[in-house]
Amino acid sequence: MKSTIAPFPAARPRRLRSSPALRAMVRETTLTPDDLIWPVFVRDGEGVEEPVASMPGVLRRSVDLIAKSAADAQAMGIPAICLFPYTDPALKTEDCAEAWNPDNLCNRAIRAIKQAAPDIAVMTDVALDPYNINGHDGFVVDGEIVNDETVEALVKMTLAQAESGADIIGPSDMMDGRVAAMRAGLESGGFQNVTILSYTAKYASAYYGPFRDAVGASGALKGDKKTYQMDPGNSDEALRLIGRDLQEGADMIMVKPGQPYLDICRRAKDTFGVPVFAYQVSGEYAMIKAAAQNGWIDGTKVMMESLACFKRAGCDGVLTYFAQDVAQALQG
């Protein structure tokens, strides 16, 4: 696209910025509730909600309250909710069997949401870390995160989630070959319409710190995730991985973290033209909240601007802990 402009004063670009009406007319992208996916943390018990210290305003909720929150979100026009379980440490093992237990926290929450809010899409996270005694997304054998054995387990986990009613499967583990294996499993299991939103360009990032507290994985994690998550210095590699995941049967792809990686979102959209999502991760959320609590920024305005920027960068939507606040702000 070529941008041309007349010489001054024939062109005075400020004309189009001179009133709210004109600015609204020429705005290239807008944020709507349709753009939001709301990640939530599930814990056991009934009628329980507890704050996550490193993420002010975020709660871990028991299944009954998650179902209620999903109904609220649906009423606000939020199209999807994404579940993350806070697993009882006693259920974390080396073989991660709780991950494909049909009655684990995540699968119970899926069923409860489907009852309470049948129109909201339920997304899940596929990775072994909530169930792994050492906090990794894959099995650890002699200090190595093994790929192919992990993929087999991830397929079992995927099928248990699909059987519980999940609409969107979100593999966040970064193993090779997982999307093809999951797609084949879903096809032969009779889940042809279950979609895969692959965490394709997922970087080994320090921005995930507060999340690991929220799901109780930070104490467990030994070492780092650099042998499977991407190097923050890489951009072309993200495109190779996106191309691969699309060929393996992903319906949508994700870039994660979000705001520091907007260049990857733009390249992904321009190169492939498929639905691209970003994850505004826990550290991004915590930074905005902390600065706002100190009175250093206007928290609501920065929240809205940060999300609008994802649209400008080519994203079709954003996973954000702000989802309810944003939907409310857009309504009011």
> Is 114 part of the annotated catalytic residue set?
no
Element (H, E) at 21: helix 20-26
Report how far Cα 210 is from the mean position of its chain's Cα atoms.
Answer: 14
3-state secondary structure of 159: helix
Q: 3-class DSSP state for residue 320? A: strand
When the beta carbons of 131 and 211 are compared against ligand PBG, the nearer one is: 211
Place of tokens 């001179």: 18
Catalytic residue among 256, 269, 289, 311: 256
Alpha-carbon distance 153 to 107, whole Å?
A: 16
Nearest distance from residue 263's CB to ligand PBG, in Å? 19
Q: Which of 282, 306, 320, 324 binds ligand PBG (CB under 6 A)?
A: 282
Which one among 40, 69, 121, 125 touches ligand PBG, defined by CB under 6 A?
A: 125
Binding of ligand PBG by 129 (CB under 6 A): yes
Which of 86, 131, 208, 310 is in the footprint of ligand PBG by CB under 6 A?
A: 208
Q: Is 213 in the site for ligand PBG (CB under 6 A)?
A: no
How far apart are CB 129 and ligand PBG at their closest, in Å? 5
CB of 16 to ligand PBG, least distance (A): 37
Site string for ligand PBG, 140-179 (x = CB under 6 A): --------------------------------x-------
- Partners of 84 in the beta sheet? 41
211 is a site residue for ligand PBG (CB under 6 A): yes
Nearest Cα to Cα of residue 109 among 169, 195, 44: 44
Task: Tell me whether residue 15 or residue 322 sits nearer to ligand PBG (CB atom).
Answer: 322
Cα 43 to Cα 74, 77, 211, 229: the distances in Å are 21, 25, 14, 26
Q: Does 127 bind ligand PBG (CB under 6 A)?
A: yes
Q: Give the integer Cα–Cα distance in Å for 54 and 44.
A: 20
Alpha-carbon distance 299 to 56, whole Å? 12
Radius of gyration of the chain (CA): 20
Q: How far is the CB of 258 from ligand PBG (least distance, A)?
A: 9
Alpha helical stretches, state H, 39-146: 63-75, 105-116
Contact code string over 223-262 relative to ligand PBG, x by CB under 6 A: --x-------------------------------------
Contact call for residue 36 and ligand PBG (CB under 6 A): no
Catalytic residues: 202, 256
